[in-house]
Homo-oligomer: A and B are copies of this chain.
Amino acid sequence: MNFRKKLEKNIKKNNSLLSIGLDPDVEKIPEHLKKYKDPIFNFNKQIVDATYDLVCAYKPQIAHYAAKGIRGIGSLLKTINYLAYTYPQIPIILDAKRADIESTSRLYAKEAFDVFNADALTVNPYFGLDSLKPFLERKDKGVIILCKTSNKSAGDFQDLKISSDKIPLYLHVAEKVQEWNKKYKNCMLVVGATWPEELKKIREIAPNMFFLVPGIGSQGGDIKQTLKNGLRKDKSGLIIHASRSIIYASDKANFAITARKEALKLKENINKYR
């Protein structure tokens, strides 16, 4: 099943727009997990087992694993395998922000879609279309392109106004991706919840596209504004992402139960404004 169908189906099944980040940090995970052979995988497994019926997707961020070398990459592979076999209905978004010249992007597509077997990947638009083609051509996969990122310095380049059409770079990216999507049909955009006004403008440009929205929770984005400005007409079209506020809600032995409580609260809070 292609990514978009899998996503739509699981949004309905779980009645949820919430995506949870599987971003384990050995310094933050509960002490008692360290007795396991692979504490990172064990942490992820417990989070997933406690929240699988509350999410539309899971999004592991690859740097959290790569920073630990080969052992970390092993934990990511193990996590994705566990998810794929135990909860095959849940789409997996690999967050890696890849892009390079075309021949190299082809290898990054292999990394994401063949080695890690992800359903979707985040990518960076700076190189332009040819660098994204190897991802876009994988029609069964989702390609989630950075548009307006959630961080404070996002405007350094993304907000620069383009003289030909007077719109900022991030809206120009949204317009281009909207155009590319007519052909490829597997594009999505990353839009930070920290920028609700910008989200509204991007929704006007791409009325039917899915947006991945980080920045709720630890980064301070507002749920009500995000839903108001970002929802499609069908009350869907957003993947609202949270990570630290859920997975590190407790560092006690019962961390997974606490994570479930936080996830349920956030899911319901999101649905309140749908």
**Chain A interface (Cβ within 8 Å of chain B)?**
61, 63-64, 66-70, 73-74, 77, 95, 97-102, 104-105, 107-108, 110-111, 114-115, 124-131, 146, 149-158, 160-164, 166, 169, 172-173, 176, 214, 219
Contact = CB atoms under 8 A, between A and B. Distances in A.
A128 B154 contact: yes
23 contacts: A61-B104, A63-B104, A63-B111, A64-B104, A66-B108, A66-B111, A67-B110, A67-B111, A70-B70, A73-B73, A101-B214, A101-B219, A124-B126, A127-B146, A127-B156, A128-B156, A129-B153, A130-B152, A131-B149, A157-B169, A157-B172, A157-B176, A163-B166
A126 B157 CA distance: 6
A173 B12 CA distance: 43
Question: Does more than half of chain A's interface fall in helix, strand or loop, or is it mixed?
Answer: helix
Instruction: Kindly report how many copies of this chain are found in the complex they form together.
Output: 2
Contacts of A99: 97, 124
Given A66-B108, A161-B164, A150 B74 contact: no
B149 A126 contact: yes
A173 B157 CA distance: 8
Nearest to A162: B160
Contacts of A124: 97, 99, 124, 126
Given A115-B66, A160-B172, A127 B154 contact: yes
